[in-house]
Amino acid sequence: MNTNPPAGSIDIAGKTVSRLGFGTMRLTGPGTWGDPDDRERAVRVLREAVHTHGITHIDTADAYGPYTVEYLIKDALHPYPDQVLLATKVGMVRPAPNEWVPLGNPAYLRAGVEASLRRLGIERLDLCYLHRIDPHVPVADQIGTLAVLQTEGKIGHIGLSKVSPADFQLASKHAPIAAVQNVLNSSEPDDPMVDVCRDQNIPYVPYRPLNAGKIASNGGARNALSWLLALGPHVAPIPGTSRPEHLAELVAFTRSR
């Protein structure tokens, strides 16, 4: 394993991991639905991320596929190296390709966590994000359910995804929040949660850091990642790709900045 972590290191959910993580959303079929066209290549990307490039922050969700990527991660990486942080998300249902519906029912959240544990082959999720706050369920019930699972030892740390400062403040009343994951890139550059996370001394994990590839050509990826990393040492981007050669390029960009 490469011991020189890309973009340096950051503490997330009790582990010191590579500041450049790997987002796994693209390891599915079109519409984030079903199996990838080339399953063997998807497994290879995951293995190279960890064992070749030293990426130790792997981000996923039960909704990717749904379920597809959690199975891929287990097949590719289990048993997991001690230094690898697995972060997953629960609280989203997938009626069809490209359709995403928040579901924060406590029973569903509990079932989702327990199912993710089985698919990943672990006894505790290092970091479990609420994928979206469900506006139809009290936040106290949603975060409270994850907090109970935390006391049971099934979740190590709780995160939030796609939230505002008001969301963060409300959720924080019910449990400590260990990380926030929001969309941020040089085409969508404004998110007050960057400053909130800095003030709270917790990681800010920008997803869609290359705007789904729209800013990745003609040197755009290097500039986009450099811009994100320059926002502060608490910013830990999670670019994703389905191609090993593209992953190698992204890692090289962060090591040469």
* Measured torsion, CA atoms of residues 162, 249, 28, 191, in degrees rounded to the nearest 10: 10
Mean pLDDT taken over the chain: 95
Q: Does residue 1 lie within any of the structural domains?
A: no
* From 64, 80, 108, 129, active-site residue: 64
Q: Does residue 35 lie within any of the structural domains?
A: yes
Please indicate whether residue 129 is annotated as part of the active site.
no
Q: Does residue 2 lie within any of the structural domains?
A: no
Residue 47 to residue 253: CA distance in whole angstroms:
19
Amino acid at 184: L
Residue 35 to residue 253: CA distance in whole angstroms:
29
Q: Does residue 103 lie within any of the structural domains?
A: yes
What are the E-state strand segments in 33-188? 57-59, 85-90, 92-93, 101-102, 125-130, 155-161, 179-183
What's the pLDDT band for 169 if we cut at 50, 70, 90? very high
Q: Mean pLDDT across the stretch 108-119?
A: 98
For residue 185, list its beta bridge partners: 188
Q: Does residue 4 lie within any of the structural domains?
A: no
Q: Give the domain extent around 111.
A: 9-255
Q: Does residue 3 lie within any of the structural domains?
A: no
Q: Does residue 45 lie within any of the structural domains?
A: yes
The structural domain count of the chain equals 1
pLDDT digits over 38-75, tens only? 999 999 999 999 999 999 999 999 999 999 999 999 99
First to last CA, the chain: 21
Query: Any idea what the CATH number is for the domain that residue 45 is in?
Result: 3.20.20.100
Range in 1-10, 39-48, 84-93, 164-173 the model is least confident about: 1-10
Q: What is the pLDDT of residue 253?
A: 87
Q: Is the pLDDT of residue 101 over 80?
A: yes
Q: What is the pLDDT of residue 181?
A: 98
Q: Mean pLDDT across the stretch 113-132?
A: 98
Q: Is the pLDDT of residue 219 over 70?
A: no
Q: What is the pLDDT of residue 132?
A: 98
Q: Does residue 227 lie within any of the structural domains?
A: yes
How many of the other CB atoms lie within 10 Å of CB of 27? 28
pTM above 0.85, yes or no: yes
